[in-house]
Structure formats: C-alpha cells, structure tokens
Amino acid sequence: MAYSSGRAAWMGRQFNISRKFISPVSARIDIPGGLAYETIDLKDASMINPVALIRTADLCYAKTISRFPFGNEPGKSLADIDDLMRDHALYVATSRVDIDMSLYEQSSPIFPLYAIKTLAYIGRSSMKTNITLHHEKMTKPYANFANQFVYIDPKKRSSKEFPEHWRKQYKQYCEGETPLTMSRLTKPEVTSQYCVDIRPSDTDLYDHTKYFSYIGYACDALYIGISKSQYNRIGTIHLRGGMKSVVISFTNESVCGNTLTIDSWEDEVQEDTVHFEYRHGDTICCQATLQFYVKN
C-alpha cells in the first residue's frame, strides 16, 4: 500500500492532529476529535466499523513517517523512514488488529484520543510497526495495530535489504521483538463463497487494493454468509459482539477492476473464529482470520 506525504499533511491539518517524537523509534500522535463519525456503526451504536478504525491508525502511521514542514519538530521522520521510501516502497506483508472489549461499551469516551507509534522490529528487508490507541481515562489501550512491512524495489518488484547504516542506527532500539507472521491456512472442500469487484475507492495510489479493504470484504462476506445460514456456529451473536481480532497475510496483489472470490469457513476448534481466503482467478491474494466477542 502506498502513502502520500502531502495527503497525510493535509489531513493532519484538517483534523488538528499533532505529533511528538518521544524516542528515536516512537512517537505520540494526539487526535483531539477522537474516532471519526463513520467509525460508529449506525445499525448499533455500540458497534465499531473495523475498517474506519484502521483508517485512524493508518493516518497515525503516515503522520509519523512524513517530513512535514510545520508543527512539532518540522522536517523530522520517525526513524528516518521517509528517507527509505524516496526510491523504494514499503508493502504490508502481514497485519494484525486487536480490539479491546472496552471500545464497544457506550460509556467509554472516544475523544480526545492519542496513539503511540513504535518501530518495533527491524530485519534484513522487513520491519514491524505497532500503534496503540488510547484515551487518558482508560487503563488499557482501546486497540493495537501491528503491521509487518517488506522493503520493495519498485522497478524489480522484489524485496531489497535495508541500507546497512540505517539498520545499524535503529536496530539497537528494537531488540527483543519478533516479526509478525501468520501460518498458512488449509481451506476445506466446503466453504461459503462471496464475490466482490474491487472499486477505485478500495485502492491506493498505484491502484493496488488497500490492506484494510480486504478486512471490509471479509466482514461483508461474513454478513452475507450468516444471512444465508451458511455457517454452523457463527451467527448474529458474533456480529453483535464485535470483532476481537483480525490477522491477514498477503501473497499476491489485486488491483482496481479485479473480481475477488472470497471463501470463508469456521475454525474447527474455536467457535468464535472464521477464516478467509481471497482469490483473483486461480491466484491466492491473501488469507485472513477474524475472531469475535460473543454478545447474547
């Protein structure tokens, strides 16, 4: 997924979002307005739209890596990541979101909020970032967003090692963390199927499907599957309970205009868990696992 520094700067000004660097690999992002209007599910005020929630974290990511010419510490980029992206790109390989139950409670305040962004792991050609979303009055974070990125040479369309001087400078602050991975899923013969056409609004600057768009597709596929009674255990009590976590791993890209076939099936052991596989033709683009709270 591609990022635009200029676009992020404009959005940061419009929403009055500010940042403060607290270490060479971490920053605090203050969000005075809290969660956006579209984050609240209009069908149920206690529900959260996970895609809109992830957009908030995504803005925090862009806010910290871009060298804005204004505000606190102008011209600075978290761990100089902006320099890495001048001629190369960072693609999301694996993403994980964990949402605390407190975010679904109507008594929980949703503004103002702040986020802590940390560069948590540096490998040879990949890095992991963590973003936690907080409210000052709450003892635990509302959510945690982890992304494993791969450093890509856009001309060769292949991974590339980070510059050695950059790794040496920042890896010392990231000891003890491990990369974010997801085990490959084995799809059963019988699944629930759902098809979706990728729209321009689902894609980034290069017309590649945004990583959080896939999560929205999974939610739609699950809703349709439940409405057609295609699952044995997963039902409306899980939709009402809200998403607890999602992890998604990418193997191939999809682009605007592609049609994705999404197979979904229940976990054999965990009754609150559903797995997904996304295909464009015969090519597997990614796999995902969603886990839910249960609300009677």
pLDDT at 74: 73
pLDDT tens-digit profile of 173-187? Answer: 998 899 999 999 999
Cα–Cα distance for residue pair 159/141, rounded to 1 Å: 33
Beta carbons within 8 Å of 112's beta carbon, 6+ residues apart: 30, 31, 32, 33, 34, 135, 136
What angle, rounded to 10 degrees, do the helices at 50-65 and 5-14 form? 110
Give the N- to C-terminal CA distance of the chain in Å, as an integer.
Answer: 37
Q: Tokens 């590339």 belong to which residue?
A: 160
pLDDT band at 125 (very low <50, low <70, confident <90, very high): very high
**Is the distance from CB of 177 to CB of 119 less than 8 angstroms?**
no
Assign 3 a pLDDT band (cuts: 50, 70, 90): very low
Share of the chain above pLDDT 70, in %: 91
For residues 117 and 15, the model is more confident at 117
CA of 190: how far to CAs of 47, 193, 231, in Å?
Answer: 30, 9, 11
Give the whole-angstrom CA distance, residue 292 versus residue 226. 14
Q: What is the pLDDT of residue 66?
A: 79
For the domain bounded by 5-173, which CATH number is listed? 3.10.129.10
pLDDT, tens digit, 9 for 90 and up, residues 260-293: 999 999 999 999 999 999 999 999 999 999 999 9
pLDDT value of residue 61: 83
More confident call, 65 vs 253: 253
Residues 6+ apart with CB under 8 A from 61: 3, 117, 129, 131, 147
Grade residue 4 by pLDDT with cuts at 50, 70 and 90: very low
Q: Averaged over 148-160, what is the pLDDT? A: 91
Counted residue by residue, the chain has a size of 296
CA-angle at 95, arms to 92 and 96, nearest 5° = 165
Name the band, by pLDDT with cuts 50, 70 and 90, for residue 44. Answer: low
Residue span(s) of the chain under CATH 3.10.129.10 come to 5-173, 192-292
- Residue with the larger pLDDT of the pair 55 and 193: 193
Is the pLDDT at 78 greater than 50? The verdict is yes
Contact status, residue 125 vs residue 177, Cβ threshold 8 Å: no
Mean pLDDT of the chain: 91
Average pLDDT over residues 40-65: 82
Does the pLDDT at position 89 exceed 80?
A: yes
Q: What is the pTM of this model?
A: 0.93
Amino acid identity for residue 273 in this structure: T
pLDDT at 7: 54
Report the alpha-carbon distance of residue 231 to residue 216 in Å, rounded: 19
* Cα–Cα dist 276/188, whole Å: 11
What is the rounded average pLDDT of the residues 121-142?
Answer: 98
Answer yes or no: is pLDDT of 1 > 60. Answer: no
Give tens-digit pLDDT for 203-259. 988 889 999 999 999 999 999 999 999 999 999 999 889 999 999 999 999 999 999
Give me the pLDDT at residue 220, please: 96
Confidence of residue 10 (pLDDT cuts 50, 70, 90): low
Give the span between the Cα atoms of 216 and 204, in whole angstroms.
15
Cα 61 off chain centre by: 10
Q: Tell me what pLDDT residue 8 has.
A: 53
Say if domain 192-292 classifies as CATH 3.10.129.10: yes
